[in-house]
Amino acid sequence: MKNRNFLFVLALIFPVAFSSCEEYLAEPVKDQISTDYIYNSPAGLEVGVNALYNRMRQYNLPAGDNADLWSNVFFMACTDLGLHRTWNTPYGTVHTPANFTGSKWSNGYRIIDRCSAIITAARSIDMDATSKKKLVAQARAIRGEVYLDLKEQYNTILIDTIPTTPQNLNDPVEYKVASDADVWKLINEDLDYAVANLDYKVLPGRYGQGVARHIRGKAAMWQKDYAGAAAQFEAIITEGTHGLVSLTEVWGQNANHKESLLAYQKDFLLGASNDLAGGGGSWLTGVFCQRLYEKQSGAVAGQFEVINDVNFGGQSLGWFFPNNYLKSLYDQAKDLRFKTYYYPDNYLEYAVNNPKHPRFGQPITKPEENYRRFHWSLKKYHDLEKLIGTNDSYKDIIYYRFAETLLLASEAQHYLGNDVKALDYLNKVRRRGYTGLAASTSAVNDITTWTINNYLDESARELAFEHNRWFLLKRLGLLVERQNLYMKTSTSGTLAGEGPINMKPHMVNMPIPQTQINLMGNPPGFNVGY
């Protein structure tokens, strides 16, 4: 009996003892999508490309108050048109990656790697050739755009088109600054492919041939290839899908009009954070807007004259403002942009909106001198649907628009010697600003001579605080000089407290986070001057 039991047990153990248990330990993930799906199937490729849009939106129009927001606000506000009131003072010793633009480096390279992964994987996926080209074209447009951003921001960058995998992570890499020639070749090839394979007419939110040509034209301007740039811009102008719209429509509630080459899409119902389809609430509306509802002067029996109202911008922050230099560039009587792109500068144009105040409906009294509460503010990011009490706005924001195409085309044509055409484009933008109409034949306010100052001033009037002037001035080599002349800071919030900010020449290039330099093994050539 005993022996029988013993043998029985042995017979059971025997097979188990000889089988390997390692495969029982390998557990397939059942409730998450594996990256294999994205890179091995047509449907996967499509969702992979859609997710790139989500990441680009976070890169350029992030939600909340965090390093991503600061990176973007920096380029919008820290030009010769800006007045700084609070938060880190730019161009000082706190001009560090942590305080300013470090997240552009990390987010940028992440997007580039994901684009490279899609582009590489697409080669071996079996699907309809046209659809595949369109998907790859979108990925290449994004990669080209982000490399251009990085080159414009940091100047000394690395380039890499091989997607990172655990297998190749530890391949020996020589970290050296990529040569200009290599960088431009990569950007040009990516954007040329995108131009060749994208349509002009695309659904709102998608990259189309218009924006691909626009970015390719900008890259050409940086390379001083003015003929190439002019050709790109000319193509967009003559093709006709894109054009100027009436002045009130440009930054109106609907961003998906024909002047928009690319607008980031947001939606409150589908959102509430960067990860979700609708995105998270952007704070841009408040960054450049005064907090009029904090105005103390004129208060009666504890009731302020102004209560929080979406018409005045709603909940605001007042971190940066348009400065007096920018104000001096406008013909306040005739240039309609002064009243459309900005909230009223004259306090008498605001009415008391607090129903409990005795002067309800009448103009407010003179505000105390406190920039946080009252200063000429930007209205471009104004959102009528913003809820009271929150900084979050879900308005779609245009990132590239046709007015910039016209202005850059004007500049390119001037360098090629075609001043007639250069002035024509410059004045198209100017006439829209003065008449409010998309097109006008009235030449009374036209600029008659093309000079760099006329051009920069018109560009300031049209495109202030839209993230491109910083790069325009850097490209022209005028950034440091103009910065030191015109940008002001006033942490006390008063006119007397306004002082200049000392920008040093090496600060035209952004500092790469030191932890990243350490992780790369401290290679030479990066962060020159820091």
Partner 1 sequence: MKEVGNRPENPYLSQATADQRDYIINGVKVSGYIPGGRLSSPDLRWETSTQLNLAMDFGLFKNRISGTVEVYDTATTDMIVNAAINQTTGFSNQYQNIGEVNNQGLEVTLNSEIIRNKDFKLNLGASFTKNKNKIVSLYGDKDGDGVQDSDVGNRWFIGQPISVYWQWKGIGIYQKGETIPADAGTGLIPGDIKLYDANPENGAKPEDADRILTSRYPEWYGTVTLGMEYKNFDFNADVYTVQGITRDNPYLYGYNEGASLRGVKNGLKQDYWTPENPTGNWPRPRVGNDAPNLNTLGLQDASYIRLQNITLGYTLPADLIKKLGLSNFRMYVTGNNVVTITDFQSYSPEKNASDYPEPVSYVFGLQVGF
From the CB of 156, what's the least distance to partner 1, in Å? 12
The residue (of 442 and 502) whose beta carbon lies closer to partner 1 is 502
Contact 122, 92 (CB under 8 A): no
* Beta strand 488-489 pairing with 397-401: unpaired
Q: Could you give the count of Cα atoms lying within 13 Å of 418 in the half-sphere of its Cβ?
A: 16
- Which residues of this protein are in contact with partner 1, per CB under 8 A? 29, 32-38, 44, 47-55, 57, 85-89, 92-94, 105-106, 109-114, 116-117, 158, 160, 163-164, 166, 169, 203-206, 265-267, 270, 275-279, 491-493, 502, 515-516, 518-520
Alpha helices in 330-478 (DSSP H): 337-340, 402-415, 419-435, 452-463, 469-476
CA dist 174 and 158 (Å) reads 10
CB atoms within 10 A of CB 23: 7
Q: Could you give the count of Cα atoms lying within 13 Å of 99 in the half-sphere of its Cβ?
A: 11
The residue (of 164 and 440) whose beta carbon lies closer to partner 1 is 164
The residue (of 203 and 444) whose beta carbon lies closer to partner 1 is 203
The residue (of 116 and 427) whose beta carbon lies closer to partner 1 is 116
CA dist 245 and 403 (Å) reads 9
Please say whether the dihedral angle defined by the alpha carbons of residues 226, 155, 147 and 158, taken in this order, is positive or negative: positive
The residue (of 289 and 412) whose beta carbon lies closer to partner 1 is 289
398: helix, strand or coil: strand
From the CB of 48, what's the least distance to partner 1, in Å? 6
**Per-residue buried b or exposed e for 358-376, using 16+ beta carbons within 10 Å of the residue's own CB:** eeeeeebeebeebbbbbbb
From the CB of 158, what's the least distance to partner 1, in Å? 5
* Beta strand 82-84 pairing with 488-489: parallel
Contact 47, 38 (CB under 8 A): yes
Contact 156, 175 (CB under 8 A): no
List the beta bridge partners of residue 321: 83
The residue (of 91 and 338) whose beta carbon lies closer to partner 1 is 91
The residue (of 116 and 290) whose beta carbon lies closer to partner 1 is 116
CB atoms within 10 A of CB 470: 22
| CB-based contacts of 307, cutoff 8 Å, min separation 6 | 293, 353, 354
From the CB of 180, what's the least distance to partner 1, in Å? 18
Q: Which two tokens stand for residue 310?
A: 């979406």
The residue (of 217 and 279) whose beta carbon lies closer to partner 1 is 279
From the CB of 230, what's the least distance to partner 1, in Å? 32
From the CB of 27, what's the least distance to partner 1, in Å? 8
The residue (of 319 and 376) whose beta carbon lies closer to partner 1 is 319
Contact 288, 322 (CB under 8 A): yes
The residue (of 255 and 456) whose beta carbon lies closer to partner 1 is 255
From the CB of 474, what's the least distance to partner 1, in Å? 21
CA dist 174 and 351 (Å) reads 63
From the CB of 176, what's the least distance to partner 1, in Å? 12
From the CB of 223, what's the least distance to partner 1, in Å? 23
From the CB of 268, what's the least distance to partner 1, in Å? 11
Place of tokens 């024509």: 424
Segment (H or E) for 421: helix 419-435
